Structure 1
Amino acid sequence: MNLQKLFELQRHLDERIIREKGLGEEELIPKKIMAFLIELGELANELPEIFKFWSNKKNNYEKALVEYVDGLHFLLSIGLEQGVLYQCMTIHPIKQATVFEQFAAIYLYASAYWAHGYSRLFNAYIGLGEMLGFTWEQIEKAYMQKNTVNHQRQESGY
């Protein structure tokens, strides 16, 4: 995955949103963390076999990838706002024993963001993508597609 490319695409989207919505002075990290947590929940909902013991519904990995990329948008945006030096960033996926435990760890890292920091949250999220069987190529392609959609949404006043 070309992290620098994804961060740059996210920077352009963030700058556009901030400019067009007049958000120049607003502190957005808490809102971005909340949005990330919501996307994480939407991702989990596409993987009912992980936690919905009462349901016979099967995991939908195609929709899960879309939700994963939605979360990645917010995660990249948080990193940009924090001034993360993404040009020198290396990926070291953090993985728990099970996907359920991975979700729990990510919720913990995001909820206590200031204590755990960006790197731990980012690497745990990358680890989740790997645990779900997503390849770097799939993630990058899906990110690019969703980034285009997000720009179109801005054009239409979303």
Structure 2
Amino acid sequence: MDFKQLFDTQWKLDERIVEEKSLQGKDLLEEKYLALRVELGELANEWRGFKFWSKNQEPNTKETIKTYYALREGRTKNPLLEEYVDCLHFLLSIGNEYVFSVYTALKTSRVDHTVLHEFNQVFDDIESVKNCMGIHVIGSYEMLFNDFLNLGRLLGFTETDIEQAYYDKNKTNHERQTNGY
């Protein structure tokens, strides 16, 4: 995965939003942390594996209604992957706020962790990064990023899946800005 390109692409989208929404000089870090938590919750909701009270605990990987692009390309929309890349957008955006970029692949893939454990770990990591001060934020952010990538692997996504879905959603986000979203 080309992490530098992902961070740069996110930077361009964030700069466009700041410009078009007249947010210059506004600290958006708190909003980005909340957005990441919300999107992670939406991802967990599509995963469904924590819903012990439900008969259906299978991940929602197919949507019955095809999007225009999916229909044109003969693909069905994957809500689980889409929520994952929504999280990735905010994770990259937070990293850009700290002027920090992860340019290396996942250091340790913990295949012994369950998806449930990794979701909880990522939620904990978000708090750790948010509450860190100074130089410690770099290590905490790297841990969050690595745990998030591990979550993606545990959910069955390849690096190619993630990158393609990220760029597809980034294009959609730019189109939304053009259309006054």
In the alignment of these two chains, the number of paired residues is 156
Equivalent-residue separation in structure 1 for 2:2 and 2:101 (angstroms)? 14
Partner residue in 1 for 2:180: 157
Structure 1 segment 7-156 matched on structure 2, within 5 A: 7-48=7-48, 50-57=49-56, 58-61=58-61, 62-86=78-102, 88-93=103-108, 95=110, 97-113=113-129, 114-115=131-132, 117-156=140-179
Percent of aligned pairs with the same amino acid: 44
TM-score scaled by structure 2? 0.80
Pick closer, same or farther for the CA change 1:109–1:140 going to 2, 3 Å.
Answer: same
C-alpha root-mean-square deviation of aligned residues, in Å?
A: 1.6
Q: Give me the whole-angstrom Cα distance separating, in 2, the residues matched to 1:138 and 1:82.
A: 27
Instruction: Could you list the structure 1 runs, at least 4 aligned residues long, displaced by more than 6 angstroms after superposition.
Output: none
Cα distance, 1:91 vs structure 2: 3.0
Contact 1:93–1:126 under 8 Å retained in 2: no
Structure 2: gaps of 5 or more residues: 62-77
Structure with bigger helix share is 1
Cα distance in 2 for partners of 1:135, 1:93 equals: 16
Deviation at 1:90, TM superposition (A): 4.4
- What letter matches 2:144 in structure 1? L
Task: For 2:164 and 2:16, locate their aligned partners in 1 and report how far apart those are by CA, in whole Å.
Answer: 21
Partner SS state of residue 112, structure 1: helix
Between the aligned partners of 1:25 and 1:100, the Cα distance in structure 2 is 38
Q: SS at the partner of 2:118?
A: helix
Residue 155 (structure 1) shift: 0.9
- State the shift of 1:56 in Å: 2.0
TM-score by length of 1: 0.92
Q: Please list every run of 5 or more consecutive structure 1 residues that lacks an aligned counterpart in the other structure.
A: none
1:34, 1:16 → 2: CA distance? 20
Shift of 1:93: 4.6
**Greater Rg, structure 1 or structure 2?**
2
